């Protein structure tokens, strides 16, 4: 039983790390040719901000999980860390965009190292409130959460 729980927590943590890494690739575009050239991106090309993305994730999760009144405090702690992480990543991205310049291979590697370190620090901040919230979940909520982490698909929960 403990081994199965460990496998689920490990899988969830691994998925969180992968999601964080992939989101950095999408949020931090190392090719800053638009910024370097002084041209503005058209609205059609504009990317969603980390804060907007996080708010959408929070809203989807909240609608999917049917969070109980007893879980609300743990949920609030988790979403606070999620929002702080998103704001930090957005500030990092904005700083990079403002100081954009063409990069060589070494600078690209250093940038990605910096992104990874930032994400690791954010993940370390996120795991304790996520673990507390996850441990408070019913089996049904855990199954939904596990499915979301495996597939990335959110479904509205059907209340009975």
pLDDT in tens, 113-143: 999 999 999 999 999 999 999 999 999 999 9
Cβ contacts of 19 within 8 Å, gap of 6 or more: 152
Ordered by start, the domain boundaries in the chain are: 2-28+47-151
Q: For the chain, what is the total number of helices (H) and then of strands (E)? A: 6, 0
Q: Between the CA of residue 57 and those of 42, 99, 112, 148, what are the distances in Å?
A: 25, 29, 24, 11
pLDDT > 70? residue 3? no
Q: What is the pLDDT of residues 32-57, one digit of tens each?
A: 444 444 444 444 456 788 899 999 98
In 3D, which of 78, 86, 94 has the Cα closest to residue 29? 94
Predicted confidence at residue 49, as pLDDT, reads 87
Full-model pTM:
0.65
Q: What is the pLDDT of residues 88-121, one digit of tens each?
A: 999 988 888 887 788 899 998 998 999 999 999 9
Predicted confidence at residue 125, as pLDDT, reads 96
Predicted confidence at residue 160, as pLDDT, reads 40
Q: Between the CA of residue 107 and those of 45, 87, 110, what are the distances in Å?
A: 25, 24, 5
Neighbours of 126 (CB within 10 A): 19
CA–CA gap between residue 63 and residue 27 (Å, rounded): 25
In 3D, which of 21, 23, 4 has the Cα closest to residue 143? 4
């Amino acid at each position: 039983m403990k081994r199965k729980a460990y496998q689920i927590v490990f899988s969830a943590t691994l998925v969180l790390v992968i999601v964080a890494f992939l989101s950095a690739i999408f949020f931090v575009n190392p090719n800053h040719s638009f910024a370097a050239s002084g041209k503005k991106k058209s609205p059609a090309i504009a990317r969603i901000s980390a804060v907007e993305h996080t708010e959408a994730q929070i809203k989807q999760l909240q609608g999917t999980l049917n969070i109980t009144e007893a879980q609300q405090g743990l949920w609030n702690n988790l979403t606070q860390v999620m929002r702080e992480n998103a704001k930090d990543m957005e500030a990092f991205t904005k700083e990079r965009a403002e100081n954009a310049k063409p990069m060589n291979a070494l600078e690209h590697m250093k940038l990605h190292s910096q992104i990874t370190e930032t994400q690791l620090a954010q993940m370390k901040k996120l795991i304790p409130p996520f673990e507390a919230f996850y441990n408070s979940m019913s089996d049904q909520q855990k199954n939904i959460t596990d499915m979301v982490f495996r597939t990335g698909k959110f479904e509205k929960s059907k209340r009975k």
